[in-house]
Structure 1
């Protein structure tokens, strides 16, 4: 009986963490070789709607989920995306549910992609709160959340996890025409060498993120910027 209980417990955990990603609607397809997958700019009106993805089931492995979303998006030639909230009976948008959500896919011509406004994004891990320090200011990052800090060109930014054996990084942006993305994590993250828009820059507890993955996290994590 004890072994049976253990088996049932393990299977329950697997079901809880199981996540499926489906391409549920294809309006049209587009031929392009773009490797990136960025968030859709809401101010643009000439982006081409291609279809929808639905994510079902919760997973703590956001990198694996993004990999599945990326592959489905590229099947129809998408290079931009946005969250498509489920609606209540009265037509209002439901609150985001990490265990079930829809993503609308688009193609945006490269010349229409707008550079960002120079922010540093710092994401927490998916599982626990983490304390960090940025230029002598302390922050508490709650699980599945992020903060944004305005970048000043030429200024040096020191990001530390404030642990005995934690990481400290220093960055100095040259301009404010784009964003910088980091995640604080106690897990080792392997580099993606496939060239298909994955993870990356280094292992440790302060990790530089590739833009496509970071913009996906910015959609499914909560913005706790003060």
Structure 2
């Protein structure tokens, strides 16, 4: 009997800690084959609102969470999303809570997207602090954070994890380049072989991220303001 009670409590605890992704509202559907899921902000006025997704519960497996969000979004033909902040009683916006948030879903034509700025996004892992070096200047990325490097055109940037067996990459942004996204982690992250909402361009512990997944992380992670 005692063991049964323990198992019941363990099951309840696991259920409460589980993360759920719900398609809570469908305004309309759209038929499109766009494989991307862009983050939009200023472009919302030029997008067609389709519905919303609610995420309940916290998970460190951000890739798995995004995969579920991606599938829900594609069920109604969405190719864009934005964060839908919760409001306090007085109308002010609540601070983002990674254990409970909502995303608005849209469809937007590619020609309505704003031009990218050619920035370099460096994202930390979900649970470990990471020290990196950019052109021999040290930075510390807190867990679940990112910062944006605004490079000068044609300048070479050497980014390193400062480990004996760590990774080093060299980037030389050119005029017309889009944003580049990298996750810096000491953990080995397995790529998503499906190519949807996954990871690719694996380079040791500096991993190039697919744009849709990276823009999702930049939504649920906190930006660290650091000079470059």
Q: Same fold (TM over 0.5)?
A: yes
CA 1:175–1:14 in structure 2 vs 1: closer, same or farther (change >3 Å)? farther
| Equivalent residue number for residue 205 of structure 2 | 205
Q: How far does residue 113 in structure 1 lie from its aligned partner after superposition?
A: 1.4
Task: Name the counterpart of 1:196.
Answer: 196
- TM-score normalised over the length of structure 2: 0.91
Query: Alpha-carbon deviations, 1:108-161, whole Å to 9, x = none?
Result: 011111221111100011101110001111101001000111122222211111
Report deviation, 1:196. Answer: 2.5
- 1:93-112 superposed matches below 5 A: 93-112=93-112
Q: CA RMSD in A?
A: 2.2
Length-normalised TM-score, structure 1: 0.91
What is the alpha-carbon distance in structure 1 between the residues aligned to residue 159 and residue 3 of structure 2? 46
1:45 counterpart SS class: helix
Cα 1:158–1:44 shift into 2, 3 Å: same
Q: Secondary structure at the match of 1:200?
A: strand
CA distance in 1, matches of 2:137, 2:2: 50
User: Structure 1's 30 and 161: CA in aligned 2 closer, same or farther, altered over 3 A?
Assistant: same
Q: Which residue of 1 aligns with 2:28?
A: 28
Deviations 1:32-82 (A, max 9, x none): 000000101325512100000000000000000000010000100111100
Aligned partner of 2:158 in structure 1 is 158
CA–CA distance in structure 2, aligned partners of residues 121 and 156 of structure 1: 16
What's the CA shift for 1:172? 1.8
Q: Which moved more, 1:112-121 or 1:22-31?
A: 112-121
Cα-to-partner distance string for 1:71-95 (whole Å, 9 max, x where unaligned): 0001001111000011111121111
Counterparts of residues 63-212 of structure 1 (less than 5 Å): 63-202=63-202, 204-212=204-212
| Matched residue SS, 2:114 | coil
Whether the 8 Å CA contact 1:37–1:80 is kept in 2: the answer is: yes
Shift of 1:13: 7.1
Post-superposition offset of 1:174: 2.2
Further displaced range: 165-174 or 100-109? 165-174
Q: Which of 88-97 and 61-70 deviates more?
A: 88-97
Count, aligned residues: 226
- Deviation, 1:203, is 5.0
- 2:126 is paired with a residue of what secondary structure? coil
Match of 1:220 in 2: 220
- Bigger shift: residues 28-37 or 184-193: 184-193
